[in-house]
A and B are shown apart, each in its own frame.
Chain A
């Protein structure tokens, strides 16, 4: 078990006894990444904050029986936040509704209107324009580093379906961020 994982385990054990300081340290350590996942999976910041809060409170409530593995607390938190996001999207029928949108919807016009702004904001817009399932698969695979199998388990779909969602997501993003990509590639010295 690494140093970070050991510290997580000690903090969880203390939190299980009602140590609020230990819990605060866990919140300091993990909230940003939990919130980042929720923001990328759900397009609404307020909803993402609700999910991040619920994830951390589940940690507080279930710290007593929680077994922190060799990778620390991060995999457990990632699983909880991902499942909460998927549940929210399902309960709001967002997965079905957004699935009907065209893959490259509005990317070009949104991109044009945001040309003067920084690249990260344009990437945000492109990510938000993706259909929910594509964005969820990309968030879990690219940003959270989950394997294709793990993504499939969380989303309740086959490996092949995960591959298809990832490929479509990247194709859409390449189209939406064409100019930024060209700028980046032109800055790269030829080999």
Chain B
């Protein structure tokens, strides 16, 4: 191959290389980088081809970017959607599984603890009733005093509100358990 023919072949190969990879030589395959280093430095036409490819890369890099206002509005939309999904997907699925398990284990354990927790106030109320009943019965003022005693113990309103199945002590403890749930969550 004559020098002239080789030069033509090199230029054609360089043109193809520049069309594929652009002027940034770090993007070229290593073998091509080596091959064309001397070609570009020795052949002015090759050097000119590289300059044209560089100019095209500069133009491509000048392509416009989205406006700040458009990006900010999109950010707000993304955050609004993400926060809407938070209780359903992220709080259960995306949290570490160990902590989710422990929360649910504690939540399951709470109802079992509740009956034992309400035993002592109920027993105290019953004991007080017994003592007062004996005293008031012996004094002959049972009916009137019984009503006052029920108000003091809070049983009357609880009975009225809950058809006599739940006493006020249980309701108070129920609130406490609910607040524990809220803390856990």
Residue ranges of A at the interface with B (Cβ–Cβ < 8 Å): 15-18, 20, 23-24, 27-28, 31-32, 35-36, 39-40, 45, 49, 52-53, 56-57, 60-61, 63-64, 119-121, 123-124, 127, 138, 141-143, 148, 163, 166-167, 170-171, 173-174, 177, 180-181, 184-185, 188, 191
Is residue B65 within 8 Å, beta carbon to beta carbon, of the partner chain? yes
Q: How large is the interface on B (under 10, 10 to 19, 20 to 34, 35 or more residues)?
A: 35 or more
Minimum-distance CB pairs A-B, first 7: A167-B19, A64-B94, A184-B55, A120-B64, A123-B63, A18-B90, A120-B62
Excluding A20-B83, A36-B65, A142-B60, 13 further A-B contacts by CB distance (< 8 Å) are A18-B94, A24-B79, A31-B71, A49-B74, A53-B77, A57-B82, A61-B85, A61-B90, A141-B27, A142-B57, A166-B20, A173-B56, A173-B60
For chain B, residues 36 to 68, give those with C-beta under 8 angstroms from any C-beta of chain A: 47, 51-53, 55-60, 62-66
What are the residues of chain A within 8 A of B82 when measuring CB–CB? 20, 23, 56-57, 60
A20 to B86, CA, bound (A): 9
Chain A interface, DSSP helix/strand/loop, else mixed:
helix
Q: A174-B56, A184-B55, A184-B59 are in contact. Are A20 and B79 (CB under 8 A)?
A: yes
Tell whether, in the assembled complex, residue B63 and residue A61 are in contact, meaning their CB atoms are under 8 Å apart: no
What are the residues of chain A within 8 A of B20 when measuring CB–CB? 148, 163, 166-167, 170
Give, as a whole number of angstroms, the nearest-CB distance from B46 to chain A.
12
Tell whether, in the assembled complex, residue A18 and residue B95 are in contact, meaning their CB atoms are under 8 Å apart: yes
Which of A17, A124, A143, A174 meets B94, CB within 8 Å? A17
A61 to B78, CA, bound (A): 12
Chain B interface, DSSP helix/strand/loop, else mixed:
helix
Tell whether, in the assembled complex, residue A177 and residue B85 are in contact, meaning their CB atoms are under 8 Å apart: no
What are the residues of chain A within 8 A of B18 when measuring CB–CB? 170
A56 to B21, CA, bound (A): 30
A57 to B90, CA, bound (A): 11
Q: A180-B59, A181-B59 are in contact. Are A18 and B64 (CB under 8 A)?
A: no
Give, as a whole number of angstroms, the nearest-CB distance from B75 to chain A.
5
Residue of A whose beta carbon sits closest to that of B91:
A18
Is residue B117 within 8 Å, beta carbon to beta carbon, of the partner chain? no
A5 to B64, CA, bound (A): 27
Tell whether, in the assembled complex, residue B19 and residue A32 are in contact, meaning their CB atoms are under 8 Å apart: no
What are the residues of chain B within 8 A of A18 when measuring CB–CB? 86, 90-91, 94-95
Is residue B89 within 8 Å, beta carbon to beta carbon, of the partner chain? yes
A184 to B55, CA, bound (A): 6
